[in-house]
Each structure stands twice: as C-alpha cells, then as structure tokens.
Structure 1
Amino acid sequence: MTVTAIIQARMGSTRLPGKILKEVNGKPLLAYQLERIARAKYVDKVVIATTVNQKDDVIVEFCDNNDVEYYRGSENDVLSRYYEAAELYEGDSIVRLTSDCPIIDPVILDKTIKYYDDNDYDYVSNTIERTYPRGLDTEVFSRAALEKAYKEATLLRDKEHVTAYMYSNPKNFKLGYITNEQDYSEYRWTVDTTEDFELIELILKKLYQENNMFYMNDVIELLKQNPEWVAINAHIEQKKL
C-alpha cells in the first residue's frame, strides 16, 4: 500500500493571514510540520496542495526551495484540489493533513494509518470523536473514497471541506474512528489566531531546542508544568463546519 499525505495550505487565512509561513526560531511553521511528518514510518510521499491564487506563490517558492512536491488548484473547492492532487501523485491511501498543525505527532500519524490499513474501512479519523488535542488531526481514506466524494458531492460545505461528504454519509462509506485512551480534547495546538501562534511559539522554543523530535505526551507534560500557557488560547472557538 502506497500512502500519500496531502497537506492543504494557503496564505489567505481569515483570522491569521500567512500563518503557515510565520517563523519560530527563524524557521517557518510549515517546515516544522514537514520535518515531523518525515518521521512517520508509513507515509511514502508528502504533497502540498495549495491554490492558484497569486498570494500562494510564496508557498510554491517554499516548496521549490525545500524540494517539496506540490499541486495548485481551486482555492474554494478544496475537494477538487485534493482529488486532482491525489490523481497526479497517486497513492493507494491518502492522509489528509492541514498546514495549521505544525506540531503534528508522527506516532499518531502512524497509528491512524496502521488502524486504517489493518481494517476494512474507506475512511478513518481521529477527529470525529475527538480525544486527541486539536492540532494532531489525522484522516486516512482510500483514493477510491476520495474519487466517490469528488464525483457525488454537491453541497458547498462538502466542497470546502475535503472529507465532510464521507463522514456525513455513513451509508455510503465504511467509517472508522480512532481514539486516545485518555481524553486530551481540551488542548488546542492548531494555529488559526494570534493567540494560537503565541502558544505554539512557546512550545517550540522550549521543546524543539531540547529535542527536535518531541511527542504529544511531551507537550502535555510541558503544559502541566506551565498551566498559564493553556489559558493563552483557551477561549478560541473553532470555526464550525
């Protein structure tokens, strides 16, 4: 089974424009994410799916300078962008990641991929029944399931969110959910606002300097030692589907 991870990425965030290339210790957040994905044992290929919008030229420049594969497609129809990227770069299974998750955990990536591979599912997610911190989001699905969603989805919501059609139609897809033994869903490690970035900057400046490969439990231990950090973005509400 060939596994292709596709990261949706654009500069036009409404709440924090340019967030994915914001730097910590002189290094863009997207570079941290790619470095961590590279540690996953079961990911064979990584592709950035960005848009044809001129403001995303800087993402293409980043990819060219760092030997990262990329595809440019629709800004608003993210489902079509994903499908076209998957068709171009192939892969039996697709891992959906978003570029606002700079401290993605490669162990959780592998765990989700293996759960998908060991079972007869079209789609597996660690987000539907959320027990992992927001920011470690991982979805795995077959290329056939992606094609089915691409051809059948008509709602704007389903075109803006790659997997919404899949998990909203359990009669048409075999769905699997993976959960953590302990519920850590109260933690928010995604970057969508200035407060989110402030927290991630603190985490990276502390942990990355000590060991450039840290994991979920390392971050949780750090936050237990610094509970005031959690409060920085605790009030931020995730955008609704």
Structure 2
Amino acid sequence: MKALFICGSLNQTRMMYQISLHLPQFHANFTPYFCDGPGRLVQRTGALDFTVLGGEFHRQTAKFLTECGVNFDFEDVNGPYDLVLTCIDLIVPKRIRNSRLVLVQEGMTDPETPAYHLVRAPRLPRWLAQTSAKGLSNAYDLFRVASEGYRSLFERKGVRPEKIRVTGIPTFDHCAAYLDNDVPHRDHVLVATSDMRETFKFENRPKFIEKARRIAAGAEADAKIPSDCPLIDPDVIDQVLDRVMQSDCDYVSNLHLASWPDGNDVEVMRLDALETAWREAMLPMEREHTPPYLWERPERFKLANVRWDEEAAVTRDGSLSHRWTLDYAEDCAFIRQVFETLYPENPVFGVEDILDLLASRPQLADINERYLGVNWYRHHLHQLKTVDSRDTAHLSSLKV
C-alpha cells in the first residue's frame, strides 16, 4: 500500500513526516501543497508565493524533506494512492478526491473574521478565510483534530461529527489539572500565542514590552512564564513569587543566573521597573524579551535569583544538563514520553518526579540531547553584558 503526505508550512511538514513514521505499512511519498485547475495557472506565475502554495513555504518544505531522505511525488503525478493525508483543505485538488483522504489539524485556527462568514455562502473560495475555514470542505473521510475543545469548535462550524477523531492532548490542554493545588498565588493567568512568524505575517515583536505593560496595568508585579515550558513545576513558580513578596526587589527570577532544568523559567518584575524598561529600553532585544533591560543593569535595579540548589556552595546549571522546554520536534517527543509516563498517576508532577523518571529511564534524555543549552541568548551575545557563550549552545555546534 502507498500513501501520499501533502505538506504545507515547515511546522505542518514536520508533523506530516512524524505521522509517516507511525504508518510503516505504507510506502510514503511527499509533496508540497498544490492545487489544480485555474489555480494551478496562477500558482505557476509566482503570484501565490506568499502562501503555502509557493515561495519560502515550498523552499523550506523541500529542504526539510530532502534532509529527511524521503520519496517525493510532486503534485501527485504517480497516483492514485491508497491513502492521502493533508493538513490543509482550503483547496482540495481533484486528483486526490478518489483516494481515502484524512485531514490533519496542525496548530491553531484563525479568528472568524467577516471573510469567514462570507465563505459560508455557496461558491466563495474557502481560502479567503484562511485557516478559520479549515474542515469546511467535507471532502475528507476523517478529520484528525488536536483536542476535545477543537472537536467542539469544528462541530459548531458545521463539520460532521462522525468524521472527527481526537488525536491527543495539546500542551496547554492539561492546564486545568493545575487548579487543584494549595499555591496561594492564583486566578491571574493569561496565555497568548500567535502563528504570525510561522506564516510570515508582520509581527512587531519589539513592541511586546508595551503590550506587557498594558496587560499588567494596576497589578503590583508582572510575572513572565514562557509558553514553551509545559513541564514547569507549579512549586517552582511559587518559590519565585514568594521571593518577590518577601523583598523589595525590582526583578526576581530563577534563570539569571540559570540553575534549574531548562523549561522552568519564571521571571517577575515590579510594575514600576517594567514601566522604566518600557520608557527607556532602546535595543529591539530588550523590548522583545522585556526583562534584559533590568538584569543587564544590576547597579541600578535590585535583583534576586532563586537557585535550584540554594544550600550548595557552587551553583550548578541544570539548564545546560536538562532540556524540558519545547522548541523542536525532539523536544515534543521527549515531553510526550514524560506525560505518558507520569501524567496518568500524577497530573501535577514536578521537577523531582521528572528527575526520578530520568534516573530510571536515562535513555529518555537522549531524545533531545542534541539541543541541550540552546536558547535565545546565542543570537545576542554581542549585545548582552551579563551573559556569555558559556550560557548557551549554538546550533552549528550540535552533534548530528
């Protein structure tokens, strides 16, 4: 049996490749996203290069798949296939409609703008509404969605319930489990994310510090916990917050200097210090990441750090020896293994539980070992004064 995997953005392509590894019974072929009919003529002119139908999207897809050594079948010239998997159904080429078709959701969907409501009318192309119209083609046999929440969303949009299958738990969907605890600092959580970088839309990241200031208005302090830390220990967060409450520090963190396993990052800024950074920070790096303006000026701001091993004479840097954060496919595979092992018996597992797991199954750490120490510092070593090359790793030096 043979299967065709239709890719899209780089993230979607990586996902399709991972899926193919779980279907060894099929001879797998891959293609970048494509269309047929009049749209194909437009695609050939390059007019659609700003979309997943060409340009940088196609180049990244082709580069990744070439590095993986997969078989190509550009635009399904060698069909028909026993199974076709695609991550996009805004355009469904006619040549794949006679095969068993599975639509797979990757990532978030766009908001339901007026364009979304317009495409619900007959004959208006779904691509006008971008990913808010995902699933509306009804041209597939199965639709694999990311969570029960997305099942409800797509059913509300009109997707036939009998075609939907839930594949797993996204990294944020387990957050409700953390509500049942005795941590005193609660009820003030904001999760914000975007697909703008992946889809090459304009994103003013240096303006982020202004957004943080606006969101925190009226609060005593602003806590920053990155969204790429799904394994973060609530007790670690509480340790940092307790230090803030016990002192008159402008900035308290557990990562400057780093000591905790990477993926337990907590930073808390007094609001007046955040206001100062907002007024005075000039470097794009300082305005994007927010706290560097403070911790780069220890002579001006009062700083504190919560270490992993407060009683030890010498600080160990667990961020260089343990990687529990989420940036690469290998990170996701590692996190999945941790969740599948610990979550069923203890949904609110923490640092010590993960360390015990790694002690009993050290091979798990090998999954994403090649990215140990890789962080954003590496892009700004020429600007940072309190961080140097010992605090980060470079992708060019990774073992393959």
Normalized against structure 2, the TM-score is what? 0.47
User: 2:291 corresponds to which residue?
Assistant: 163
Q: Where do 5+ consecutive residues of structure 1 fail to align?
A: 1-11, 57-72
C-alpha distance in 1 between matches for 2:247 and 2:375: 30
Q: Which has the higher strand share?
A: 1
Measured in 1, the distance between the counterparts of 2:180 and 2:219 equals: 17
Question: Which shows bigger deviation, 208-217 or 43-52?
Answer: 43-52
The correspondence for 1:27, drawn from 158, 169, 175, is: 169
Q: 2-side partners of 1:37 and 1:144: how far apart?
A: 29
Q: 2:324–2:331: 8 Å Cα contact kept in structure 1?
A: yes
Name 2:226's counterpart in structure 1: 98
* 1:86 and 2:216 matched: yes
Q: Deviation of residue 211 (structure 1)?
A: 1.2
Q: CA deviation at 1:138?
A: 0.5
Query: Distance in 1 between the 2:198 and 2:360 partners?
Result: 40
After superposition, what is the alpha-carbon deviation per residue over 1:206-239, rounded to whole angstroms, capped at 9, x for unaligned?
1001111111100000011111111111111223
Q: 1:206 to 1:226 in 2, by over 3 A?
A: same
Q: Does 1:215 align with 2:353?
A: no
Question: Are 2:227 and 1:137 equivalent residues in the alignment?
Answer: no
Q: Take 1:115 and 1:129, find their aligned partners in 2: how far apart are those partners?
A: 15
- 41-50 vs 140-149, which moves further: 41-50
Q: Is the 8 A contact 1:25 1:205 kept in 2?
A: no
Shift of 1:159: 1.1
The answer to whether structure 1 residue 232 and structure 2 residue 367 are counterparts is yes
**What displacement does 1:34 show?**
6.0
Please list every run of at least 4 consecutive aligned residues from structure 1 whose deviation after the TM superposition is greater than 6 angstroms.
16-25
Q: Could you list the per-position Cα deviations for residues 176-213 of structure 1 after superposition, in whole angstroms to 9, with x for gaps in the alignment?
A: 11101164331110000001111000001110011111
Deviation at 1:32, TM superposition (A): 2.9
Q: CA deviation at 1:133?
A: 0.4
Take 2:195 and 2:167, find their aligned partners in 1: how far apart are those partners?
Answer: 29
Q: Which residue of 2 aligns with 1:110?
A: 238
Letter of the 1:159 counterpart: R
Q: Separation in 1 of the partners of 2:238 and 2:176? A: 15
Measure how far apart 1:33 and its partner are: 4.5
- Measured in 1, the distance between the counterparts of 2:222 and 2:176 equals 16
Structure 2 CA distance for aligned equivalents of residues 34 and 76 of structure 1: 31
Q: Match of 2:112?
A: none
Higher radius of gyration, 1 or 2: 2
Change (3 A) 1:27 1:123: same
Give the aligned partner of residue 64 of structure 1. none
* CA-atom RMSD in angstroms: 3.1
1:180 aligned to 308, 318, 324, which one? 308
Residues 177, 347 of structure 2: 8 Å contact kept? no
Q: 1:19 to 1:53 in 2, by over 3 A?
A: closer
Residues in 1 aligned to 2:375 and 2:303: alpha-carbon distance in whole angstroms: 23
Over 3 Å counting, the alpha-carbon distance change for 1:130 and 1:180 in structure 2 is: same
Q: Give the whole-Å Cα distance in 1 for the aligned partners of 2:294 and 2:179.
A: 24
Query: Quick check: 2:228–2:263 contact (8 Å CA) kept in 1?
Result: yes
Q: CA 1:195 to 1:50, structure 2 compared with 1: closer, same or farther past 3 Å?
A: closer
- State percent identity of aligned pairs: 29
Distance 1:136 1:119 in 2: 22
Aligned equivalents of 2:107, 2:351: Cα separation in 1: 22
Q: Amino acid of the residue matched to residue 194 of structure 1?
A: A
Alignment gaps of 5+ in structure 2: 1-9, 16-105, 110-145, 148-165, 381-400
Output the CA distance in 2 between the equivalents of 1:214 and 1:119: 29
